[in-house]
Structure 1
Amino acid sequence: IIAGKISPPLEGVTIQIFGKDKESPIQTLVTQKDGTYSVGPLDGKIEYSVIAEKEGFVITGPDAKGVFLAHKLAEIIVQVSDHADSSSLQGVLLSLSGGQSYRKNSITGEDGKFIFNSLSPGEYYLRPMMKEYRFDPPSKMINVVEGATVKVNLFGNRVAYSAYGSVTSLNGEPEVGLLVEVQGQGNCSNLQEEATTEENGNFRIRGLQPTCAYVFRLKPNVESNAHIQRTSPTSQLVQPMEEDIRGLRLIAFHPISRTDVSVHLTSTQPEHYRTIKIKLCREDAPDSPVHISKLDVQQSVSKNTGNYNAGFLVHFPPLQADGRKYFVQLESSLSQAVHKYRTIPVYFEANSSFKYVKLTFNAERKVDQSDMNQTSVIALPFIMMVGLAFVNREKLWTWLNALLERRSKPVPSSRTPVQAIPIDPRADDIIVEQIMNINKRKAKPRKT
């Protein structure tokens, strides 16, 4: 068991136990308020070494009883505040130099504080720096004695302002690592400030003078912005007017890297949709389609029934926007021997973000040749008769006229006329006899 203590008792000392490997400790622990430590049991065949460390202290030892002696070094605690409202100033650069070749640059935290510790006795030079602020005093000499803690308060007066904003893509995604700038105008044309967008796309440009107007924009001709094609707006005129500028925004557009292709297909006969497929080909390789899309049969039945025929919208996978020429063309499983139709390719260039192509399919059924031949045989005699009548039209006309004249003349009766016999009112018998005679003559058969 390895045990010992820190003298005087000191909390927060890191104790490291090393075995054969002097680079990786086998045990690490931190002392409590009493400053004691204990590790074990350990392998007694191995020789161990113990190291004690704490920032701001010089710790020597251990002796044979495992006791370390701690000596506190001097420290300087710097607090930086805004002179206007005494609020803590975060992000102030503090430069401290002096003592025994000591030099360190550090930045204040959210509480506006930073501690320089582990200092040897001597004189130190402290200088605060931050855009937009002028400090009083601008620098300070500090005398440090052994083990002392020196507190220094600094105040800053604001003399310039900041511009806050964000840069996003069109869909709202943050653009990270872009360089934005404000360029002075008119008498302030020699002034320029810039900043880099953070992970959330936000930025803060410091150091804008209240008496100057600036143009805010994405900084041109720098490598970090090379992947951005343009921004909207391209630039914006701003002026601080003794207060921060907030709400600046740029929308960044990337170069077009792909082309989406959509095809709208309509057919005059909805039942033909199930026979159609659409192919997408490069112009220089027409026999090797890039993509082939076949219409969904179920979709064809459900969406294109009755009198409503909306057609189909087919989306192809994106193409590389490289300016190459492509074409889309229909293919149908309908037999060319039975149906008559044409499939004309439509050409386009992949040089924009979207291409829309409209195609129409119109297939007509051809007339059956056997039916046509049967109809021709039936009609042939009639055609020959009409032709013959036309050739002999004069004779035919004369014959028709003669026939009409013959039918228009009165036809002489072949019957023997009945002679009128005066009726003798005094002789009824004579009348009856005459009537009977007439009936007998009618009953005689006529000679042909």
Structure 2
Amino acid sequence: MLQFLILFLICFSYGKTQQNSDVIGCGGFIKSETDINYKVVRIQLITKDGIPIYTTEAAPINGYYMIPVYEHGEYILKLLPPSGWSFEPSQFELNIDGETDSCTLNHDLNFVFKGFGLAGRVISAGSTSGIGGGPAGVTLTLYQDDKKLNETKSKADGTNLKQNSEFTLDLQKEKTKWIGSFWAKNNEQYSIFPLSDIWLFEPDHNIITTSSDNCQSNQVKFLARRGLFINGSTHPPVADANVSLYTISTENEHEQSIDIDGQTMTLLLSSWTNSDGTYSFGPLSNTRPYHVTIRKLGHVFTRKTSSLYDFNSEKLASILVQIKDVDGVFLLLTSSTNNMRRRTATTDSTGEVLFEDLQSGNYYLRPQLREYKFQPEDAQIELKSGDEIITKFQAERIAYSCYGQITSINNEPEFGLIVDAIGIDHCESVTRESAKTDINGQFRLRALEPGCRYRLQYRSNPSDSTQTEILEIEPKNKIIEVSDRDLYDIHLYTIKRPTDVDINVFVETQTQFINQLKIKLYKSSQRESPIQTVTLTNSPFAYFNQLPFDNESYFLRLESPLSTSVYTYIQPEIIFTANQTFLFFTFNFEPRLRIYDGETGLTGSYSAFIIALLIIILVFKYETILPFLRSSYGYSREILLPNIVRTSSSLLSSTQTNEQTVKVSSSTSSLNTMGTKTVTNTNNDNLGLTNDSKRRPRVAD
């Protein structure tokens, strides 16, 4: 930093001193975005005639320079950089007048560094030292990051070196080699690709990184080899024919490939023949095999036996077939003189068909269409190279068609159904005609003879499972009569097997119960889970999804969330079989409020209360009650129970005696009654005595 300040002050003082003595100082800077050696850059002041006046070097620290001018006049301030260095501008033209010029006004004259140059040479194969000269017309292309920067090309007269502001640069011939250079910045990487119309290069490209310290490291060398050229032609000449060059496949070549004598070859290059039928490929490597093919529409090419790359050409012929007033005619074209496979075509609404690309030879052409006969029936045609033949046929209608449609009852088209037209009456011997419906359900029965009556009949197609649902076609045995025109608008309908069952349910009940009802559909074999459940809303009608028409047993159940302690009702069920397309059922739901019995309820409450009270006493006073219960149990078992048994026996015997007494003395009812009561009282006394007598031993004990 100190050196820079000292140098700047010295230069500034020097300029001021000289300016005071009519010496003008012209100065400025060498500027660069990259690090360069400023010391190797020289600045020279010359006259318009090229006479050097003063030469100096730039300051090594910051690139500053200063040149004194002692006399007014026109000068050129020129930069002298090392070879391969590029600056803008390369010079300044000055008119020193001591008043308005840049030097007098102390304006800096700066030179901006743009980049370094690349130098290389191309030498012929076998002469690595360059002896014998290098090839002319070689193009070198400079790339950076796959972007094309510049090109250079050698010329026989060795023209000047052009700057990198142009896309094409030329090599200069220097003794036995061709050299050229590019301008580039320091430490940048470039790819150089040499190209030539007659030479091949090794390597095919070079990658270098420029260096300002050593320009020798920027040199690139390519070895040139004279390439192989493939030249061919067509006879007679055919212009604008596509020529394809194939070679043994490599990883970097096009994927399009062909098989040549059992060897796979890929497309390398493609070109077109010139107006004189010639073509050329090159330069090519002479270490690989090549194969050429030629194609052009309307022509055929055969390789000459004397040359691999010359071809005999033949313009192909064509046949235009014309059949008026009829379309859909099938045409068959065959040849007996060449290896052409048979070709077929069908006429359109124009009644014309063009057979193109036909080689010379003899051909046989025949038109075919049911309901028509043609004049002539066929044609024998002899073709020569380039012939354009027109062949005409006359068509005559001899039969007619029946156009119709088959749909379902709801007008959905039926696809793939077969309809037969069977002749009846005097036309029973005619051929049965058949047709198949298209995607729109439409059909066309062809070749129906005029004057005949036909019965239209449906024929099932066993291979089509969807047709098993069709039972029949309506109307059955539709009769049509053919005259001298086609029949239209024949409409047939299919009757299908039922596949689904619709179920509707109506619930007859009071309005307040509707929103609480559900109807569940079960399969009889699966009563655990319902198939469908419908909840009624504001309507007493319920609609179920369709069931399959499977003749299976199902049942419907009406369910209600009403409490059975408040209402009494029945949840009805209906069992049915799915064997009809539509089923309608009605449920009657009549819930009733339960009637509350106050006395019964009160008695039950008292009984429950007493039982609960006894249980509580038993739990808390079991120590007192337990001995009493044991004593009672013993008394009941030993005394009370036997007395009850004897009393029951006595009562039974007394009842039998009374019955006999009643039978004997039935004349006087009052007497019988007194007798009965007596018997009953006596018995009771006896029971009392008996009981007392049985107690006494117990008391004595």
Contact 2:317–2:385 (Cα < 8 Å) also in 1: yes
Deviation at 1:343, TM superposition (A): 2.3
Check if 1:79 corresponds to 2:322.
yes
Contact 1:59–1:68 (Cα < 8 Å) also in 2: yes
Deviation at 1:14, TM superposition (A): 9.9
- Tell me the amino acid that sits aligned with residue 360 of structure 2: P
- What does the per-residue CA deviation read over 1:272-328, in whole Å, with 9 as the maximum and x for residues that have no partner? 122211111111222221122222xxxx3xx4xxxxxx6223323x22222111111
Deviation at 1:217, TM superposition (A): 2.9
In structure 2, how many angstroms separate the alpha carbons of the residues matched to 1:312 and 1:71?
Answer: 85
In structure 2, how many angstroms separate the alpha carbons of the residues matched to 1:285 and 1:122?
Answer: 80
Contact 1:16–1:52 (Cα < 8 Å) also in 2: no
Q: Given the alignment, which residue of 514, 518, 522 partners 1:281? A: 522
The residue number in structure 2 matching 1:247 is: 489
In structure 2, how many angstroms separate the alpha carbons of the residues matched to 1:33 and 1:363?
Answer: 105
Q: 1:186 to 1:372 in 2, by over 3 A?
A: farther
In structure 1, how many angstroms separate the alpha carbons of the residues matched to 2:345 and 2:389?
Answer: 18
Q: 1:162 to 1:366 in 2, by over 3 A?
A: same
The residue number in structure 2 matching 1:94 is: 332
The residue number in structure 2 matching 1:116 is: 355
Equivalent residues in 2 for 1:387-402, closer than 5 Å: none
Deviation at 1:102, TM superposition (A): 4.4
Q: Given the alignment, which residue of 220, 238, 243 partners 1:8? A: 238
Q: 1:136 to 1:269 in 2, by over 3 A?
A: same
- Tell me the amino acid that sits aligned with residue 344 of structure 2: S
In structure 2, how many angstroms separate the alpha carbons of the residues matched to 1:32 and 1:320?
Answer: 74
Q: 1:312 to 1:220 in 2, by over 3 A?
A: closer
The residue number in structure 1 matching 2:393 is: 154
The residue number in structure 1 matching 2:569 is: 341
Contact 2:245–2:290 (Cα < 8 Å) also in 1: no
- What does the per-residue CA deviation read over 1:386-418, in whole Å, with 9 as the maximum and x for residues that have no partner? xxxxxxxxxxxxxxxxxxxxxxxxxxxxxxxxx
Check if 1:361 corresponds to 2:600.
no
Contact 1:181–1:217 (Cα < 8 Å) also in 2: yes
In structure 2, how many angstroms separate the alpha carbons of the residues matched to 1:231 and 1:66?
Answer: 70
Q: Given the alignment, which residue of 143, 155, 177 partners 2:416? A: 177
Q: Given the alignment, which residue of 257, 264, 269 partners 2:499? A: 257
**What secondary structure, in the 3-state scheme, does the structure 1 residue paired with 2:470 have?**
coil
The residue number in structure 1 matching 2:342 is: 104
The residue number in structure 1 matching 2:433 is: 193
In structure 1, how many angstroms separate the alpha carbons of the residues matched to 2:338 and 2:480?
Answer: 48
Deviation at 1:28, TM superposition (A): 12
The residue number in structure 2 matching 1:42 is: none
- Tell me the amino acid that sits aligned with residue 237 of structure 1: I
Deviation at 1:356, TM superposition (A): 2.5
- Tell me the amino acid that sits aligned with residue 384 of structure 2: V
- Tell me the amino acid that sits aligned with residue 313 of structure 1: A
Check if 1:213 corresponds to 2:446.
no
Q: 1:60 to 1:141 in 2, by over 3 A?
A: closer
Deviation at 1:78, TM superposition (A): 1.3
Contact 2:329–2:367 (Cα < 8 Å) also in 1: no
Deviation at 1:47, TM superposition (A): 8.9
Deviation at 1:247, TM superposition (A): 0.5
Q: Given the alignment, which residue of 311, 315, 336 partners 2:540? A: 311
Deviation at 1:214, TM superposition (A): 0.5
Q: 1:245 to 1:36 in 2, by over 3 A?
A: farther
The residue number in structure 2 matching 1:142 is: 381
In structure 2, how many angstroms separate the alpha carbons of the residues matched to 1:228 and 1:175?
Answer: 10
In structure 2, how many angstroms separate the alpha carbons of the residues matched to 1:54 and 1:115?
Answer: 18
Q: 1:237 to 1:372 in 2, by over 3 A?
A: farther
- What does the per-residue CA deviation read over 1:170-216, in whole Å, with 9 as the maximum and x for residues that have no partner? 33332222222211112222321112222222221110001110012
Deviation at 1:369, TM superposition (A): 2.3
In structure 2, how many angstroms separate the alpha carbons of the residues matched to 1:319 and 1:131?
Answer: 49
**What secondary structure, in the 3-state scheme, does the structure 1 residue paired with 2:519 have?**
strand
- Tell me the amino acid that sits aligned with residue 562 of structure 2: L
Q: 1:208 to 1:10 in 2, by over 3 A?
A: farther
**What secondary structure, in the 3-state scheme, does the structure 2 residue paired with 1:272 have?**
helix
In structure 2, how many angstroms separate the alpha carbons of the residues matched to 1:170 and 1:161?
Answer: 29
**What secondary structure, in the 3-state scheme, does the structure 1 residue paired with 2:374 have?**
strand
The residue number in structure 1 matching 2:134 is: none
The residue number in structure 2 matching 1:235 is: 477
- Tell me the amino acid that sits aligned with residue 446 of structure 2: R
In structure 2, how many angstroms separate the alpha carbons of the residues matched to 1:17 and 1:231?
Answer: 65
Contact 2:244–2:267 (Cα < 8 Å) also in 1: no
- Tell me the amino acid that sits aligned with residue 262 of structure 1: N
Contact 1:261–1:356 (Cα < 8 Å) also in 2: yes
The residue number in structure 2 matching 1:418 is: none
Deviation at 1:5, TM superposition (A): 10
In structure 1, how many angstroms separate the alpha carbons of the residues matched to 2:299 and 2:586?
Answer: 81
Question: Which stretch shifts more, 204-213 or 53-62?
Answer: 53-62
Could you list the runs of 5+ residues in structure 1 that have no partner in the other structure?
40-44, 82-86, 304-309, 375-448
In structure 1, how many angstroms separate the alpha carbons of the residues matched to 2:480 and 2:274?
Answer: 57
Deviation at 1:58, TM superposition (A): 0.9
In structure 1, how many angstroms separate the alpha carbons of the residues matched to 2:390 and 2:443?
Answer: 33
Deviation at 1:95, TM superposition (A): 4.8
Q: 1:346 to 1:160 in 2, by over 3 A?
A: same
In structure 2, how many angstroms separate the alpha carbons of the residues matched to 1:143 and 1:205?
Answer: 38
In structure 2, how many angstroms separate the alpha carbons of the residues matched to 1:188 and 1:327?
Answer: 57
In structure 2, how many angstroms separate the alpha carbons of the residues matched to 1:337 and 1:65?
Answer: 110
In structure 2, how many angstroms separate the alpha carbons of the residues matched to 1:259 and 1:159?
Answer: 51
Q: 1:4 to 1:329 in 2, by over 3 A?
A: farther
Q: 1:15 to 1:95 in 2, by over 3 A?
A: same
**What secondary structure, in the 3-state scheme, does the structure 2 residue paired with 1:248 have?**
strand
Structure 1 vs Structure 2: percent identity of aligned residues?
29
Deviation at 1:65, TM superposition (A): 13
Contact 1:136–1:155 (Cα < 8 Å) also in 2: yes
Contact 2:314–2:385 (Cα < 8 Å) also in 1: no
The TM-score, its normalising length taken from structure 2, stands at: 0.44
Structure with greater Cα Rg: 2
Q: Given the alignment, which residue of 335, 358, 367 partners 1:128? A: 367
- Tell me the amino acid that sits aligned with residue 9 of structure 1: A
Contact 2:418–2:461 (Cα < 8 Å) also in 1: no
In structure 1, how many angstroms separate the alpha carbons of the residues matched to 2:414 and 2:273?
Answer: 48
Q: 1:67 to 1:279 in 2, by over 3 A?
A: farther
**What secondary structure, in the 3-state scheme, does the structure 1 residue paired with 2:586 have?**
strand
In structure 2, how many angstroms separate the alpha carbons of the residues matched to 1:33 and 1:339?
Answer: 108
Q: 1:344 to 1:94 in 2, by over 3 A?
A: same
Q: 1:27 to 1:258 in 2, by over 3 A?
A: farther
Check if 1:202 corresponds to 2:430.
no
**What secondary structure, in the 3-state scheme, does the structure 2 residue paired with 1:275 have?**
coil
- Tell me the amino acid that sits aligned with residue 336 of structure 2: G
Contact 1:8–1:69 (Cα < 8 Å) also in 2: no
In structure 1, how many angstroms separate the alpha carbons of the residues matched to 2:500 and 2:279?
Answer: 66
Superposition CA RMSD, Å: 4.1
Contact 2:317–2:358 (Cα < 8 Å) also in 1: yes
Deviation at 1:254, TM superposition (A): 3.9
Deviation at 1:154, TM superposition (A): 0.6
**What secondary structure, in the 3-state scheme, does the structure 1 residue paired with 2:365 have?**
strand
